Structure 1
Amino acid sequence: MILIKEFEFDAAHNLINYHGKCENLHGHTYKLVVKLKGTRDKEDMIIDFIELKNIVKENVVNELDHHYINNIIKQPTAENIAVWIWNKLFDKLKRDNCKLCEIEVWETKTSGIVYQGD
């Protein structure tokens, strides 16, 4: 089974190693999708949605929401943001019955990245 939880946060960034309009300061309402692959535990859940929400909010959303991402990630492309989020969550979401299997980072409704680890 794959469990899915979506999050949203607003943040600003600019791409310093890019030539085009995204090299200028701008913001997005990002959508983050976190997916865990696993089996049901003794409570018949992969993980409690509330526990997952708290982990993601504490370790990712609260750090990025309404912040300038360049202060956290040098070149904050969707790709680099996805890797940063993966690294923040992987160990915290590892359980005997499940683990992080995929995240999606959407900058707009039509542009995003899927990351499944290295």
Structure 2
Amino acid sequence: MRLCREFYFEAAHYIPHYKGKCEQLHGHTYKLEIVIEGGVKKDGMVIDFAKMKEIVESAVIEKLDHQALNELFENPTAEHILEWISVQLNGKLPLASLRLWEGQGKWVEILI
């Protein structure tokens, strides 16, 4: 069975050496969709949504929310940010996929 939880964070960045608007400092509302996969346990859940929230907020959201991402990443593209998120959550949740939305209509996804 799969289940998904969404998380949101606000952050600013610029893309170094990019020719266009994104070379200037700007911000986004990011949406992170985390899909986990597993069997239903005796308690009737794959995972407690509250436990999932606790893990994701401490491993990811608290580190990225309201940050200047260029201070954390050399080249803070959505792809690099999602790769980092994947590493942070590896082994902490039974991940099936991760999707990071950079505003509306633009996303990157990792299938695990």
TM-score range, shorter chain: over 0.9
Alignment of 1:1-118 (within 5 A): 1-93=1-93, 99-117=94-112
Q: What percent identity do the matched residue pairs reach?
A: 43
Separation in structure 1 between the aligned mates of residue 102 and residue 89 of structure 2, nearest angstrom? 19
CA apart distance, 1:83: 0.6
Q: Secondary structure at the match of 1:61?
A: helix
Provide the TM-score with structure 2 as the length reference.
0.95
Separation in structure 2 between the aligned mates of residue 13 and residue 36 of structure 1, nearest angstrom? 28
Q: Secondary structure at the match of 2:98?
A: strand
CA apart distance, 1:18: 1.9
Runs (4 or more) in structure 1 with deviation over 3 Å come to none
Separation in structure 1 between the aligned mates of residue 59 and residue 72 of structure 2, nearest angstrom? 13
CA apart distance, 1:41: 1.3
User: Where does the alignment leave 5 or more consecutive residues of structure 2 unmatched?
Assistant: none
Provide the TM-score with structure 1 as the length reference.
0.91
Equivalences, count: 112
User: Where does the alignment leave 5 or more consecutive residues of structure 1 unmatched?
Assistant: 94-98
Q: Aligned-residue CA RMSD in angstroms? A: 1.0
